[in-house]
């Protein structure tokens, strides 16, 4: 079972999200320019001058709960923890938990890729989870799964 001190820190979660949303270098979500200035966690595009934050142009732009709590709800959802237990674990209301579960479901990728032939496998370990990623050689087809435990 996940305990509070096993949760990634707010900073770590932000780092994961930045990596997922932007890759190695932050770019402008409007014009995709990489000429970005950073000031106290906010970004500004030097080309089209818009200001943005890590999540402002993602489906998490309206997030109102702390990221650690959000991580916990996501973790519960991935592990298929029932709503009631998720409420107890996160301290969130039934409405909130249900809303997040619906949101996660709504943002699942539309198609699942079935990979063929030669694939490259890679895995990343989090405290007690493993993220497995596979890429079909010579294509951009990716598949991934999150498993509980670190001995997969
Ligand atoms: Zn821009």
CA of 29 to the centre of ligand 1 (A): 7
Which of 128, 132, 127 is closest to 145 using CA atoms? 132
CA of 16 to the centre of ligand 1 (A): 23
DSSP 8-state assignment for residue 93: -
Tokens 């906010």 -> residue: 42
Instruction: Report the predicted TM-score, pTM, of the whole model to 2 decimal places.
Output: 0.68
pLDDT tens track for 62-86 = 899 999 999 999 999 999 999 999 9
Residues lining ion ligand 1 (Cβ < 5 A) are: 28, 30-31, 33, 45, 47-48
Domain residue limits, the chain: 9-60, 63-108, 119-148
Q: What share of the chain has pLDDT > 90, as a percent? A: 60
Phi, psi of 56 (to 5 degrees): -60, -25
Predicted local distance difference test score (pLDDT) of residue 137: 63
CA of 25 to the centre of ligand 1 (A): 14
CA of 3 to the centre of ligand 1 (A): 40
Predicted local distance difference test score (pLDDT) of residue 42: 92
pLDDT tens track for 88-137 = 999 999 999 999 999 999 988 776 556 666 656 666 666 677 776 666 66
CA of 21 to the centre of ligand 1 (A): 16
């Amino acid at each position: 079972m996940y305990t509070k001190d096993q949760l990634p820190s707010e900073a770590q979660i932000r780092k994961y999200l930045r990596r997922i949303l932007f890759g190695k270098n932050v770019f402008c979500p409007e014009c995709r320019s990489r000429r970005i200035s950073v000031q106290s966690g906010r970004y500004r595009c030097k080309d089209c001058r818009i200001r943005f934050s890590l999540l402002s142009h993602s489906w998490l732009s309206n997030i109102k709960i702390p990221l650690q709590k959000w991580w916990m709800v996501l973790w519960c959802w991935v592990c298929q923890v029932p709503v009631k237990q998720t409420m107890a674990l996160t301290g969130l209301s039934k409405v909130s938990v249900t809303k997040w579960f619906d949101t996660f479901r709504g943002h699942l990728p539309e198609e699942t890729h079935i990979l063929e032939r030669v694939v490259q496998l890679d895995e990343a370990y989090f405290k007690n989870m493993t993220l497995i990623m596979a890429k079909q050689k010579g294509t951009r087809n990716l598949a991934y799964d999150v498993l509980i435990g670190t001995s997969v």
